[in-house]
Structure 1
Amino acid sequence: MAEPNHHGGKRKPFGNRFLTDPARLFQHNAWDNVEWSEEQEAAAEAKVQENSIQFVAQDQQDAYEINANKYWNDFYKTHENGFFKDRHWLFTEFPELASNQYDSQVGMSVSEDALGNTKNSGLDSGLGSVETGVSQHLDSETNIFNTNHQLHTSDEMALGKPEEQKLRHSDFPGSSATYRILEVGCGAGNTVFPILQNNNDPGLFVYCCDFSTVAVDLVQAHPEYDTSRCFAFVHDLCEQQMPFPMPDESLDVVVLIFVLSAILPEKMQCIINRLSQLLKPGGIILLRDYGRYDLAQLRFKKGQCLADNFYVRGDGTRVYFFTQDELDLLLSTAGLKKVQNMVDRRLQVNRGKQITMYRIWIQCKYCKPPGQGELRSL
């Protein structure tokens, strides 16, 4: 039975390819918004219970936490920039990242050029190639966000606020930008470079950070890395005392794509709190991550479970599988307001081997309420 979507009103599909005739199952590589039967849901729950019977010993769990940096460095040393494909689907799922996405009369819209460039793009090869569609969940909360963001951007352009003038002339990378994006967990740059390629806003500046020094080196060595538009840096989100290169309340967008799930669950709230502090009032967090009962969770064997719904892979990296409620609690506790919280259920098909694969991801958009906090003087 499909999980109810009680965090964004009536659920709208992410894509537009629906399996209505089972005889057509292997005619395409993927199907969107696939409903689960009660039997399928029960089987998934039973599988998770089976692979969670035995937890990894605590001393081994401590070692995974202590050596997390090593495991991710080894991952990028092995795969470099060849593991994931560039995420050109970003602009259909997150039009906030595209240029000229705001219209003063109607709120959010997406430039045809940005959509046209991404219609035939797929998800990461590590997740399986998927033909991705668009979800435009524009409820009243979204429109409130857009209106306030529009006004805030206008203030920036006019340099109307003394606090904004202080921020603009402070000495930090991207201090003169009018639209700032931070991608957390940038890996080899499969998100940041599509943004830089597709968003031609002259006021754009993109920050990107990763736990792995190897990953950041790969980004900085990329031929399209441009320090006038981008700043890549190493950052450990779990180290509360490690400063960010930009001040609080300076960012318009924070992007978290399959990142939060790699972090120890008890540290997640602190991390979301810190990222919320970086947002301007009216700024937004865009998140996409693994959902409960995703194929990747069901594939784990006994002995790989660290805690409920938290596992270690064979390479030492870890992954958590979320519910909508868990993500809503994390983001709302940080003072953010829900714009979107949706389950994306996909049926991926290997037509050659006649294999079906059920993927479950959760996509969230949460904004910092306009007027929440004041821009700090520097």
Structure 2
Amino acid sequence: MAEANDAAPMDLPIREKQPKQQLTKGMEHMRSYVTIQDNAAATPAKDTTDPGSDAYGVPATYAPIRQPTSAPIQNNPEKRSDPFQFGTRYLEQGDDIFSHNAWDHVEVDPQYSDFIVEQTEFQRSNQVSDFDKQRFNSQPEKWWDKFYSNNAANFFKDRKWLGQEFPVLGEVTREGYGPVTVLEVGAGAGNTAFPILATNENPELRLRACDYSKKAIEIIRAQEAYTAQESPALQADVWDVAGEELPPGLEPGSVDVVLMIFIFSALSPDQWKRAVRNTFTLLKPGGEVLFRDYGRGDLAQVRFKKGRYLDENFYVRGDGTRVYFFEEEELRRIWEGRSAEDGEDANADDESEDKKEAAPKFEIVNLAVDRRMLVNRQRKLKMYRCWMQGRFRKPPT
């Protein structure tokens, strides 16, 4: 034993530091489509997001899609406008792709476009079993209960971009605006409701947060910002937007603004009509829906592998929650009350039990595709994102 202790220390081989892994295991199949070579020339591509930074691709901050009001400055390598306007950072030939972490209005390159088609065919040919389809679709709220039980209020980031993206929220929360009721559908853990409450200066604001996950509502009600309200402006309740009843305490025609932020995609296509009808019923004449959700071909859709495809553009995540990816024209039909087959009035060929009720017809104030590309200099990644954003108004009469 003494001889062993007195022996000269052994020279151990020095291990070289390994470079940081570029991709998660779930995205390894996309390596050649999302990695950037060190000397890669900038070419117009599509919108993206770092998969490890924002939950399920729901961003905490990003550039709004509103059109710029000022002309771009000539000879402007910094891509600035004076004053600065969101939506003006265009990626042009010769630009250093790493000079900024995000580029606006970016289209996917042909290679990535082909990959989307191939990946979609692969997903379609490796669908969820019929047994699992029934399991995931029968009680979707229980999967969200499980999700929030596991993640509490720490998974999604507060959506601080809401007032920037939807200026009407800044108007209704300013001092002196007067009585107004805002309903958030799919409130989750309060990552939309609490930022609105924190900036509110309108003592007559009535903010309602609803979700069909009981656990999510428990999390909202347990937070200090909720329990500390002296004159409660925020009220949270369990409610299924695709159910047969209206939210507790809300009457038809009592809501001024409905928020639907990454919630419509959690519904199955056969729930859309009822969800739209309930929303229409709750809104006052002239009331609006503020809408943000996933677009077709978004990174979150493309990175799904086998065993996640429920139906066309409809998937189940590893935690059992569901997600749908929309096209612009598809959303226009849904909210204007037109059928998918021929674009005509949805009531013309509706044979369901809801036929006795006319399909709601919202006015499309605006609806646009938000395409962005986010890049990560350290990991040499480019992520193409596609979101849908719109404002839908209940006709004044």
Q: Is the 8 A contact 2:214 2:238 kept in 1?
A: yes
Alignment of 1:54 with 2:126, yes or no, is yes
Query: Aligned equivalents of 2:118 and 2:329: distance in 1?
Result: 21
- 1:27 aligned counterpart, secondary structure: coil
Equivalent in 354, 374, 389 of residue 363 of structure 1: 389
After superposition, residues 282-297 of structure 1 pair within 5 angstroms as: 282-297=286-301
Partner of 1:97: 169
Query: Aligned equivalents of 1:15 and 1:310: distance in 2?
Result: 29
Alignment of 1:306 with 2:361, yes or no, is no
Distance 1:275 1:79, change over 3 A: same
Q: Is the 8 A contact 2:315 2:323 kept in 1?
A: yes
Query: Aligned equivalents of 2:371 and 2:278: distance in 1?
Result: 30
1:52 CA drift (Å): 1.4
Partner of 2:376: 350
Query: Aligned equivalents of 1:56 and 1:80: distance in 2?
Result: 28
1:335 CA drift (Å): 1.3
Name the aligned partner's letter for residue 206 of structure 1: L
Which stretch of structure 1 is more off in the superposition, 47-56 or 19-28?
19-28
- 2:98 aligned counterpart, secondary structure: helix
Alignment of 1:250 with 2:322, yes or no, is no
Alignment of 1:340 with 2:341, yes or no, is no
Query: Aligned equivalents of 1:223 and 1:296: distance in 2?
Result: 33
Distance 1:328 1:18, change over 3 A: same
1:323 CA drift (Å): 0.3
Partner of 2:221: 220
Partner of 1:20: 92
Partner of 2:144: 72
Partner of 2:184: 183
- 2:153 aligned counterpart, secondary structure: coil
Please list every run of 5 or more consecutive structure 1 residues that lacks an aligned counterpart in the other structure.
4-9, 102-110, 114-152, 158-177, 372-378
Name the aligned partner's letter for residue 385 of structure 2: R
Partner of 2:198: 197
Q: Is the 8 A contact 1:11 1:342 kept in 2?
A: no
Deviations 1:246-303 (A, max 9, x none): 0010111000011010111111111111111100001000110000000010001122
Give the TM-score, by structure 2 length: 0.69
- 1:205 aligned counterpart, secondary structure: strand
Distance 1:268 1:22, change over 3 A: farther
Query: Aligned equivalents of 1:12 and 1:297: distance in 2?
Result: 26
- 2:220 aligned counterpart, secondary structure: helix
Alignment of 1:322 with 2:348, yes or no, is no
Q: Is the 8 A contact 1:297 1:321 kept in 2?
A: yes
Please list every run of 5 or more consecutive structure 2 residues that lacks an aligned counterpart in the other structure.
1-43, 47-64, 69-85, 338-359
Query: Aligned equivalents of 1:242 and 1:365: distance in 2?
Result: 22
1:217 CA drift (Å): 1.1
Deviations 1:100-152 (A, max 9, x none): 68xxxxxxxxx8x9xxxxxxxxxxxxxxxxxxxxxxxxxxxxxxxxxxxxxxx
- 1:277 aligned counterpart, secondary structure: helix
1:199 CA drift (Å): 2.5
Distance 1:243 1:309, change over 3 A: same
After superposition, residues 105-254 of structure 1 pair within 5 angstroms as: 178-225=179-226, 226=229, 228-241=232-245, 243-254=247-258
Query: Aligned equivalents of 2:147 and 2:129: distance in 1?
Result: 23
- 1:311 aligned counterpart, secondary structure: strand
Q: Is the 8 A contact 2:237 2:248 kept in 1?
A: no
Query: Aligned equivalents of 1:244 and 1:57: distance in 2?
Result: 37
Equivalent in 101, 106, 120 of residue 29 of structure 1: 101
Name the aligned partner's letter for residue 84 of structure 1: F
Distance 1:275 1:242, change over 3 A: closer
- 2:188 aligned counterpart, secondary structure: coil
Distance 1:218 1:370, change over 3 A: same
Deviations 1:309-353 (A, max 9, x none): 000111000100000111111111121101110000111112211
Query: Aligned equivalents of 1:75 and 1:38: distance in 2?
Result: 37
Give the TM-score, by structure 1 length: 0.72
Distance 1:212 1:335, change over 3 A: same
Query: Aligned equivalents of 1:55 and 1:67: distance in 2?
Result: 19
Query: Aligned equivalents of 2:94 and 2:371: distance in 1?
Result: 17
- 1:359 aligned counterpart, secondary structure: strand
Q: Is the 8 A contact 1:99 1:199 kept in 2?
A: no
Q: Is the 8 A contact 2:242 2:271 kept in 1?
A: yes
Query: Aligned equivalents of 1:41 and 1:359: distance in 2?
Result: 13
Distance 1:242 1:339, change over 3 A: closer
Partner of 1:280: 284
Name the aligned partner's letter for residue 195 of structure 1: I
Query: Aligned equivalents of 1:22 and 1:321: distance in 2?
Result: 33
1:25 CA drift (Å): 1.2
Alignment of 1:83 with 2:155, yes or no, is yes
- 1:98 aligned counterpart, secondary structure: helix
1:21 CA drift (Å): 5.0
Query: Aligned equivalents of 1:45 and 1:238: distance in 2?
Result: 32
Which of these two proteins has the greater Rg computed from alpha carbons? 2
Q: Is the 8 A contact 2:243 2:274 kept in 1?
A: no
Name the aligned partner's letter for residue 317 of structure 2: R
Query: Aligned equivalents of 2:220 and 2:396: distance in 1?
Result: 33
Q: Is the 8 A contact 1:251 1:279 kept in 2?
A: yes
1:238 CA drift (Å): 2.8
1:38 CA drift (Å): 4.4
